[in-house]
Every structure is written in structure tokens, then in C-alpha cells.
Amino acid sequence: MTRTLNQSDLEAYLDEALPPEQMARIEKALRADPRLIGQVSAIHSRRSAGVHSLGDIWRGGRLSCPTREQLGSLLLGVLPDDAADYVRFHLEVVGCRYCRANLEDLKGQQAEGHETVQKRRRRYFQSSAGYLGH
């Protein structure tokens, strides 16, 4: 759905919280319209002064996000209908990027090979363990 960008879109853009296609759309718009940069800059400044919108607080606190267990239940088809309907709305209409990532991860757990995952985790551990206890 193509619609005019609003303040909430720009706030979510600053948080990297929108679905990738919407993030790309805003980046394209920012390159084309310097006034939009001014708007995003104003949000940035407002936040630096400690003024947050209700949307900022809701999104930042992930107040309506389903739990990972609920996302797992959705995949297994065992979530009650009304709750499942809401979770799909949250993923698809609201487009919560964090919940989408959780869902993708849960879906991918079966698909990815054990050795690949272990190798990646070892790399993360080895590159960061030097900072432990500092």
C-alpha cells in the first residue's frame, strides 16, 4: 500500500523498526526531498530533548508484541483463533520488524544445518569473549 509518509513512519525509520521495503521507500524519499530530512532531523532533536511520542514509547517498549512462545504457537497452529488473528495483524499490518525477525528465526531453525549454526556462534563468541568481565 503506497501512502503519504507520516510522523510515525519517520520515527520508526529512525529506530530501524519498519519492514525493509518501507525503510527503502523512506530512504528514497529522503534522497529526493531535503524537507523530509528536516522533518526527520526535528524528530531526532525532539528525542534528544527527552520528548517522546506515545508511538515511540509503545514501539520502543514493544508493548503489544507477542511473546516468542506465542509466535512459536502460531507456527504450530495451536494459538487460539482470536489471538492468532491479532498476531498476524501485528506482523503483517503493523509490520513489526522485531517480531518478524523472531518468526523468521523460528522458521529457519529447522532449515539451517547444525554445523553452520555452531560455526557462526563460535565466531561470535571468539570475536567478543575478550570483552567479557571488562
Partner 1 sequence: MSNSHQSDKLLIGRIRDGDADAWNDLIAQYEGRLLAYVQSRLRDRAAAEDVVQETFIGFLTSLPNYDQRRPLEGYLFSIAAHKLTDFLRRRGRRPTIPLAPEGTSSSGWQPDAGARPASSIVRSGERRGLEAAAVTDALAEQIDNWRRRGQWEKLKCIELLFVRGMPNKEVATALDISEQAVANHKYEFLAKLRTAVRKQNLSEDVFPELYQQQ
Minimum CB separation of residue 7 from partner 1 in Å reads 6
Burial class (CB in 10 A: 0-12, 13-18, 19+), 130: exposed
Residue 78 or 87 with smaller CB distance to partner 1: 87
- Cα 104 to chain centroid distance, Å, stands at 12
Q: Rounded to an integer, what distance in angstroms lies between the CA atom of residue 103 and that of residue 99?
A: 6
Minimum CB separation of residue 74 from partner 1 in Å reads 15
Minimum CB separation of residue 113 from partner 1 in Å reads 13
Residue keyed to cell 525477525: 101
DSSP code, position 134: -
